[in-house]
Amino acid sequence: MANKSLFRVLFVCLGNICRSPMAEGTFRALVQGENLQDIIGTDSAGTGSWHVGSPPDRRAQGEMASRGYGISDLRARQVSRADFDAFDLVLAMDYDNLEDLQNLAGAQYEDKVRLFLDFADGEAADEVPDPYHGGPDGFAHVLDLVEAASRGLLAHVRARLDP
């Protein structure tokens, strides 16, 4: 699906079971709400391989469901070099993810690799913090940040599609 779109966004975290599927699900819902799902494609991946094939963490699914987003269909995969060709933006949740992606991508693709929160207007944080080892508040905080950045990201993508 993502590969047939005009503009493709890949969200990347460490495990691809918490932050990046929450980002994908939130941005996907915004895109669908604007009826742009045939134009803007979404996917997510992890820099690590531990959770490949798994659905999102149940705490992530629960927080998403509490705000009306469904992500039970998503399955974790590991990011690969081919993703830098396939996607127009590859968005890191934190600086560790950013560094791993930059090392994998090489200089040729550096413009595509960004911090997701670069798109969160007025948001003080640079990083979406890893909620995996913390309590439920961490997931609510992740979703606050992800919702803010998703709105800014959609405005950015719209401007690039229709300058």
For ligand 4NP, the closer CB: 17 or 79: 17
The interface with ligand 4NP within residues 120-159 (CB under 6 A) comprises 130, 132
Minimum distance between the CB of residue 39 and ligand 4NP, rounded to whole angstroms?
Answer: 27
Q: Pick one of 8, 15, 23, 89: the residue that binds ligand 4NP (CB under 6 A).
A: 15
What is the maximum alpha-carbon separation in the chain?
42
d(CA 90, CA 126) in angstroms, rounded, equals 16
One residue of 5, 7, 10, 19 binding ligand 4NP per CB under 6 A:
19
Minimum CB separation of residue 24 from ligand 4NP in Å reads 11
154's tokens:
């959609």
Give the active site residue among 13, 18, 57, 100. 13
Site residues (vs ligand 4NP, CB under 6 A): 13-19, 50, 130, 132
- Catalytic positions: 13, 19, 130
